[in-house]
Amino acid sequence: QKEVEQNSGPLSVPEGAIASLNCTYSDRGSQSFFWYRQYSGKSPELIMSIYSNGDKEDGRFTAQLNKASQYVSLLIRDSQPSDSATYLCAVNVRNTGGFKTIFGAGTRLFVKA
């Protein structure tokens, strides 16, 4: 089992719809979770971080965390064509000396105009 798993997609949604991106992780002790967006040919940029169970909202983005189910998701409301990108889930997992960040392979999102 991979440490961080995401559906590779592509996930296609119409403009204005809600895009739902999901991620599961294996380390039950993980405490920090992140979503990054990566446009084609560009480097990842941080969208949100979440540390506590529940929802965290920032503009059109909502991150949801359920540690019991080892599941973190990202909802994008009112999806726009400019949201088309690969979304990377990242989880800090424990290792000797502290922690390391594990990235999922990413989910490609297409928002159709």
Partner 1 sequence: GAVVSQHPSRVICKSGTSVKIECRSLDFQATTMFWYRQFPKKSLMLMATSNEGSKATYEQGVEKDKFLINHASLTLSTLTVTSAHPEDSSFYICSARARDSYTQYFGPGTRLTVL
CB of 113 to partner 1, least distance (A): 23
Contact positions toward partner 1, by CB under 8 A? Answer: 31-32, 34, 36, 41-46, 49, 51, 88, 90, 92, 99-101, 103, 105-106
Q: Which is nearer to partner 1, 17 or 70 (CB)?
A: 70
CB of 103 to partner 1, least distance (A): 5
Per DSSP bridges, beta strands 71-76 and 85-95 are unpaired
CB of 80 to partner 1, least distance (A): 22
The contacts found for 100-106 with CB under 8 angstroms, 24 or more apart, are 101/34, 102/3, 102/4, 102/25, 103/4, 103/36, 104/2, 104/4, 104/5, 104/6, 104/23, 105/6, 105/8, 106/6, 106/8, 106/38
CB of 39 to partner 1, least distance (A): 11
Q: Which is nearer to partner 1, 18 or 46 (CB)?
A: 46
